[in-house]
Amino acid sequence: MQRHLAIQLCCTLLIISACSADSGTVSSLKPAAAVSCEIPENAFSNLPTEALVGSDLAPMSNFKPKSGTAELNATYRLEMGGAIISVASIQVKETLQLDRKYAEPGMPPEGKIYDSTCLNGNKLFSKNLRAIITDDGLLWLELDIQSNFIPADYWLFLQ
């Protein structure tokens, strides 16, 4: 069922993106410094077991979390049939802010900002966000997604 939804989502995005020649861009920022905090013990329990990588689903076991205290890159992105999901990390005083944007050719971008995000080891935590820094990118999961285009039933793998 999830694979069918992923294929359907990607086909829809591909059709929509073919209707416009515009492209989304992601600007480069400086990496955010670590903001240490405590993550609730059960925060990463009972979450999806697959991640969307481009237009394919992969089991979470395919991704190796970064060891030790991970450094967060300035930006990550995922392209899905012309649509782009990007995440930028920004240090705001003593807190870490994550800014997720969804841009589709010919459509105004939509975004969501996660303030006061906790970074502990290789995990990022906010009220409605879970993320894991891996050796190759960032696994991203929004728990209270308010977008029709970003899937809520599996992780997104951004690089």
| Tens digit of each residue's pLDDT (9 = 90 or more) over 122-148 | 999 999 999 999 999 999 999 988 887
| Distance between CA atoms of residues 124 and 120, nearest Å | 7
Contact, 123 vs 131, CB < 8 A? yes
Q: Is 100 exposed, middle or buried (0-12, 13-18, 19+ CB in 10 A)?
A: buried
Q: Is 157 exposed, middle or buried (0-12, 13-18, 19+ CB in 10 A)?
A: buried
Contact, 109 vs 125, CB < 8 A? no
Range of the domain at 103: 2-158
From the list 114, 77, 78, 85, the residue with the least C-alpha distance to 102 is: 85
Does residue 72 surpass a pLDDT of 70?
A: yes
Q: pLDDT confidence of 60, banded at 50, 70, 90?
A: very high
Counting the structural domains of the chain, the total is: 1
Give per-residue pLDDT as tens, 102-126.
999 999 999 999 998 999 999 999 9
Question: Of all helices (H) and strands (E), which one includes residue 87?
Answer: strand 83-92
E-only strand ranges, 95-149: 95-103, 110-120, 123-126, 129-133, 138-142
CA-based R_g, the chain, Å? 15
Q: pLDDT confidence of 1, banded at 50, 70, 90?
A: very low
Q: What percent of the chain has pLDDT over 70?
A: 77
Q: 64: which 2 tokens?
A: 């190796």
The strand pairing partners of 85, in sequence order, are 78, 102
Give per-residue pLDDT as tens, 27-47.
333 445 545 588 999 999 999
E-only strand ranges, 9-69: 50-53, 56-59
